[in-house]
Structure 1
């Protein structure tokens, strides 16, 4: 490393800073979900209206994914991650004030777009940094990083639910979370490298060439196959987040309390699998890790669909959570290692993953209108099986 590349005191400090950044991303994504009823009431909208407002997150995220490579190149790792974290905090604060005090739909919509831009950019940047620190440490760390995101989501959802239960206005919750994000991100960024080795100014191609490199990534068969693996696991994760409780309640006839408990088991299972997954990958390799987990996921979703016995449903949910735990983080590592300009390559596969996570659950919902919710989940089984077959592409170059 050159003198400008890493001013962090140690690889461990760098790893922890990236892990904290992942957790902040998860915390942010869980900010508004528990408070949607209050947001909807404050803005005077129905479900369709609040859905259009939330679409701003999707629009902003796609723009952020596209812009992330250029921002990382321009600002360097430390300044870029710190800046988009501040943008995320600003978006959270403006949503709270815009909805709770100003009751302005346009302001809140714009804030969601900016928030989505920050989240999309941050996701690529921390995955690029995560892949770099993984190489520096000489062992698999990306599953642990993504466990940080999952843990942050659980903490954010719990915080929102607690504030709602205690009658704390969402304005104060959002402003408080914005302050936390700014403070934690500012401190953690001190342990990030100023600029990654592969992104130093020396020998860096012009911006136009880097944009062309990003576009060429969409014609790179290896990146597209990595994206295909991520398509299945992200559809599985997104569908669980959106449909699991309804499938337990309506499809299997269980109570709301059991449905909520089973969803909590899914979240804990996925997080745990990612925490312990790194050493497993170091022992058996990326390909075997992805194939073994996706195979368990296929078994789990099939078991979930076909059985009505609560213990077997619970076993299916645990296997389902393990099945979707490794494909995304290992896909990010594989994309970053697959060639030059890792930020652009990560952006390509992250875009495919986002598409599956955001567009997949609505597709399951549409399909359920014709065949029922449980039968619609066979789509997850099919795509996880496709990911199992395509996982060989994740073998290191």
Structure 2
């Protein structure tokens, strides 16, 4: 279906959703690229920085856990706007925290950032899924690509600020003005929300799909646990780069702060390329090959960063790291959703496995880095990527159509809900509802 047939409001709405994905990416990358300077401003050790980063992990979990219920009750628009408001508040809080060299204030700012991203990510994905149904073609991959483009833009600005020694607090204050202007462009373009209320039958189906009895059964599903292994490795690899890459380059390879931030910009750019260009490759070679190959590519990248004492090799290896992880999380969640009955429960369980990595990863890597150096701290991530590569065959699709007779399973796999989201809130029915 052509977008022009649906009129100008839909085009305006898509622009708003693109900005809703780009703003968190821009804000997060601004923080990440200045972490070496923030660490110096706070006079924090590597382990203490791990605890500071733990604030964002807690915030993300809080936002993701409540977002699905809020979308079901109030619709997507107010949840998106609330999440964006928290993101803006987080940038202001982090600017204030760095100005007064207060680690607790910066930690609270990161908690707000994580919570705002969790809320807006779930609601924006629900809204994007509705746009997909209107257009009858994929939209979400490009929206996630806009998030990566936001991280690239934030990283470039961060590199420039670090290179000239621009004060972090002023950098964050200027970034606050930019994201406020972008947010002002979102508000009038965003349509009334979708999924205002779940029907009683849908709510019962969602409760049954994620009830304690069936959830215990899912823990005994060997294939689902293998898919969880893929998610665990991919999520930790992406999250460890987001949390630690600039500091890893500065402390582990003696790069200047500006160059360390530039390396993170390269990682973000590689992620963006992988997300925009990966769709056709998945259709060509299949999901297991893409996930397995991506895991091995990431393994090579992390190994070069960890074991080769060359800043040039490390900078190039980060590109492999970014490309390899770019499609890992969404493809693995898609595999979980179609791995058997109770798709909502399967995706929820697999998502929780991924977010355990996000929650435990920053402080664990920080403590390892404090005692053994950040390069050595990446070795467990490398080992988990090998596990992910070994588990990748479990992500093969079970849904195949018999070309000659038209018989056999013809059910089109539903796009999985975002982590913490409600399957019925996305508009994608569970197997029992079809």
Q: Which residue of 2 aligns with 1:392?
A: 396
CA–CA separation in structure 1 for the residues paired with 2:249 and 2:117? 30
For the 8 Å contact 2:302–2:382, the answer to whether it is kept is no
CA–CA separation in structure 2 for the residues paired with 1:362 and 1:94? 21
Q: Secondary structure at the match of 2:193?
A: coil
Alpha-carbon shift at residue 326 of structure 1 (Å): 1.2
Deviations 1:253-286 (A, max 9, x none): x7748987765544332211211123444x448x
Alpha-carbon shift at residue 290 of structure 1 (Å): 4.8
Q: Which residue of 2 aligns with 1:89?
A: 88
CA–CA separation in structure 2 for the residues paired with 1:133 and 1:74? 20
- Seen in structure 2, the aligned counterparts of structure 1 residues 84 and 205 have a Cα distance that, compared at 3 Å, is farther
Do residues 272 (structure 1) and 268 (structure 2) align? no
Alpha-carbon shift at residue 233 of structure 1 (Å): 1.8
- Structure 1 gaps of 5+ residues are 1-5
For the 8 Å contact 1:332–1:350, the answer to whether it is kept is yes
- Seen in structure 2, the aligned counterparts of structure 1 residues 137 and 327 have a Cα distance that, compared at 3 Å, is farther
Alpha-carbon shift at residue 89 of structure 1 (Å): 0.4
Q: Which residue of 2 aligns with 1:152?
A: 150
Alpha-carbon shift at residue 244 of structure 1 (Å): 6.5
Deviations 1:213-256 (A, max 9, x none): 656585545876654432222223234446768888999xx774
For the 8 Å contact 1:247–1:374, the answer to whether it is kept is no
Map of 1:65-80 to 2, 5 A cutoff? 65-80=64-79
Q: Secondary structure at the match of 2:180?
A: helix
For the 8 Å contact 1:65–1:121, the answer to whether it is kept is yes
Query: Alpha carbon RMSD of aligned pairs, Å?
Result: 4.4
CA–CA separation in structure 2 for the residues paired with 1:300 and 1:73? 37
Q: So what's the TM-score if we normalise by structure 1?
A: 0.75
Alpha-carbon shift at residue 150 of structure 1 (Å): 2.0
- Seen in structure 2, the aligned counterparts of structure 1 residues 372 and 64 have a Cα distance that, compared at 3 Å, is closer
Q: Secondary structure at the match of 1:140?
A: coil
Aligned length: 382
CA–CA separation in structure 1 for the residues paired with 2:357 and 2:163? 33
Q: So what's the TM-score if we normalise by structure 2?
A: 0.69
Do residues 63 (structure 1) and 62 (structure 2) align? yes
Do residues 162 (structure 1) and 160 (structure 2) align? yes
CA–CA separation in structure 2 for the residues paired with 1:44 and 1:308? 29
- Structure 2 gaps of 5+ residues are 1-5, 400-411, 414-434
CA–CA separation in structure 2 for the residues paired with 1:250 and 1:36? 12
For the 8 Å contact 1:300–1:315, the answer to whether it is kept is no
Q: Which residue of 1 aligns with 2:295?
A: 297
Q: Secondary structure at the match of 1:32?
A: helix
Deviates more, 1:266-275 or 1:311-320: 311-320
- Seen in structure 2, the aligned counterparts of structure 1 residues 274 and 84 have a Cα distance that, compared at 3 Å, is same
CA–CA separation in structure 1 for the residues paired with 2:365 and 2:42? 29
Alpha-carbon shift at residue 81 of structure 1 (Å): 0.3
Q: Which residue of 2 aligns with 1:380?
A: 384
Alpha-carbon shift at residue 143 of structure 1 (Å): 3.0
- Seen in structure 2, the aligned counterparts of structure 1 residues 85 and 276 have a Cα distance that, compared at 3 Å, is same
- Seen in structure 2, the aligned counterparts of structure 1 residues 19 and 328 have a Cα distance that, compared at 3 Å, is farther
